[in-house]
Structure 1
């Protein structure tokens, strides 16, 4: 059965796009860093946690009041139709780029047999995590052809938990879950060997711990935020929310190598306090004006496509920088080209692939209703 669509929060759509563009810039600039301490757009990795919070908020808004008309299976079908086509496209692009890559970053990559590349690609289409023994790139990723797939894996788990159990929670029970998840996240940050919450992309106990800690608080905090907080209209909410995201992501590393706990505290305060405030501001705001509306729509439209397709292009840039030992002052024109190419690729994938495929899937899957 096809459910009537609800109005979007245009500012939240725009903020997702702002964060996605900052992720692309973060990954490009990461090529010129030597460690977590000197990353540029230093806290850009927190975009994943921001996306989790936004997803929880949007899932609650879209589905909380529809369970009388929707089965668990129907919910899963809707989420798969929305998310899975670009998972497939991201893996395809990753496989094509991987096949033609050879770099000092990945010694032995040219020795990967075609059959193994095809197998990894097919498994990638399902988003099932690969064991480290099947990592063909050498970075110990559960999705070596398209690294950001790890966060979608954990988002799927959060969606499953929501559909099976958490949707039935009272606000008190949900508040308890969010509080315990916050404690879990604080513990992760304060015990981190690197003084941050970076990680979650490998299929081992340490990385799974990081992944679950990173998804549980923000996703279900977003759910709680949507259910309980009264929205207040704020003038120029998109501008202020976008500026806050930029500031949070761009703050340089705090504490250095001597005081790792200081940066750890910054990470958890950003996720637990700053991000809910930013989403609250954005959800309560209004977009006025033709151009502002178009900007928010464009950013929202490309946010998911660019997140799921940009990383293979970044890997090409990573290899070029490493092979030619290119400093940023010489490499920045190529970095700008990669950034613009990622935006263009996202738009092409959206218009020529994602939207048509989703429309076809909706017709096939829900036409019986």
Structure 2
């Protein structure tokens, strides 16, 4: 497989996992969002890290002449345009909340405080918010914490590729072990989020090397691959739905196995994941992941305003979370379906309007005209 070729099945998996994260952040009374599986779907962020490490290693891991300027520009204009635009939307939304508060509509938190404080704007612009305990790691568009980690992991990856050759696999393994040790010891200058991301990302890099070795030994047969794909998917569902206190570690291991297995694109599930709908979700996955929180925030604001106007309990608070509740289970599930459609629809717009144009701008800086799909995701 050439380094420029994409793993379309893995892209589809990324899109499905992004929708699962949407359902994790959405709370609707009595709906499918409250299933145990979706209450643990935040663990799919580890899947994103593993997959990113796998894909970037496919594209750059064997190179000895990495152009750092080109690499840096492509990575920056892949991640930053949408992140910065949405940061601006969140700042604007704080002004909206402030205006609504003047009309007597109260919120869980005061506008421009805590994770939305003005002091958190610069760390978000520099994508350092999730690395240091001195900043609010989940500030503003809180899913962007993983983008903060991923962006600088790319630079660590590039540094390893530039400074090593035959032994770079040992360096990746050392990073996985070291980050894992720091994560569970609670030591070191960075956050647990950073160590978690480093461990999963470079585990993904190692998975690609395992995939290369297995691929040279031959392709999996359709029946065997189908059985393994179904088994891997079932184990992920079972693990995330369980009460096992170690399920985060188990899930990360399963994600490594799943990415390696589905990269072969050899089974029945892989065939299904190549359907146009799943391929579309794969292309939109980054937009789905970053845009959904602002959509949910607007929806919650709307329900809170309606609650104030009608006197109905439409936006109750249970524990630390604001829920949505129409009063009918069937309608609540319909709301969930409509939210997913809205997220996909808006992501379609942001993908073409911001992501694609952002990548084009990066390529213009490089004087290149390669297709967007050629830029590893």
TM interval, short-chain normalised: 0.7 to 0.9
Deviations along 1:138-175, one digit per CA (max 9) or x if unpaired, are xx843532111111111122112111236624323433
2:76 is the alignment partner of 1:80 = yes
Aligned length in residues: 328
Provide the residue aligned with 2:58 in structure 1: 61
Task: State which of 292, 309, 319 in structure 1 corresponds to 2:291.
Answer: 309
Provide the residue aligned with 1:270 in structure 2: 251
User: Root-mean-square deviation (CA), in Å?
Assistant: 4.0
Give the SS at the match of 1:127: coil
Give the SS at the match of 2:196: helix
Consecutive unaligned residues of structure 2, counting only runs of 5 or more, are 305-312, 317-323, 371-377
CA distance in 2, matches of 1:300, 1:234: 25
TM-score of the superposed pair, with normalisation by structure 1: 0.74
Q: Please tell me whether the aligned partners of residues 44 and 250 of structure 1 are also in contact (alpha carbons under 8 angstroms).
A: no
Provide the residue aligned with 1:248 in structure 2: 236
Provide the residue aligned with 1:334 in structure 2: 335
Provide the residue aligned with 1:284 in structure 2: 264
Provide the residue aligned with 1:197 in structure 2: none
CA distance in 1, matches of 2:124, 2:272: 40
State the 1:317 CA deviation: 3.6
TM-score of the superposed pair, with normalisation by structure 2: 0.72
CA distance in 1, matches of 2:78, 2:39: 31
Provide the residue aligned with 2:157 in structure 1: 162
1:1-369 mapped onto 2 (5 Å cutoff):
6-29=4-27, 41-68=38-65, 70-101=66-97, 104-109=106-111, 124-129=124-129, 141-142=136-137, 144-165=139-160, 168=164, 169-185=167-183, 187=184, 208-229=190-211, 230-231=214-215, 232-233=219-220, 235=222, 241=229, 244-245=232-233, 248=236, 251=239, 254-255=242-243, 262-263=244-245, 265-271=246-252, 273-286=253-266, 292-319=274-301, 320=303, 324-325=315-316, 326-327=324-325, 329=329, 331-367=332-368
Q: Please tell me whether the aligned partners of residues 42 and 251 of structure 1 are also in contact (alpha carbons under 8 angstroms).
A: no
CA separation of 1:242 and 1:305: change in aligned 2, threshold 3 A:
farther
CA separation of 1:337 and 1:246: change in aligned 2, threshold 3 A:
farther
Q: Please tell me whether the aligned partners of residues 234 and 281 of structure 1 are also in contact (alpha carbons under 8 angstroms).
A: no
State the 1:107 CA deviation: 3.3
Q: Please tell me whether the aligned partners of residues 309 and 346 of structure 1 are also in contact (alpha carbons under 8 angstroms).
A: yes
CA distance in 1, matches of 2:339, 2:189: 29
CA separation of 1:284 and 1:144: change in aligned 2, threshold 3 A:
same
State the 1:71 CA deviation: 2.6
Structure of higher CA gyration radius:
2
CA separation of 1:96 and 1:340: change in aligned 2, threshold 3 A:
farther
Q: Please tell me whether the aligned partners of residues 11 and 279 of structure 2 are also in contact (alpha carbons under 8 angstroms).
A: yes
State the 1:45 CA deviation: 0.9
CA distance in 2, matches of 1:108, 1:368: 46
Deviations along 1:62-103, one digit per CA (max 9) or x if unpaired, are 1123341x3323221121121111112222332343332356
Deviations along 1:213-239, one digit per CA (max 9) or x if unpaired, are 311211001111112332443638699
Deviations along 1:329-362, one digit per CA (max 9) or x if unpaired, are 3543333322211111110111222212311331
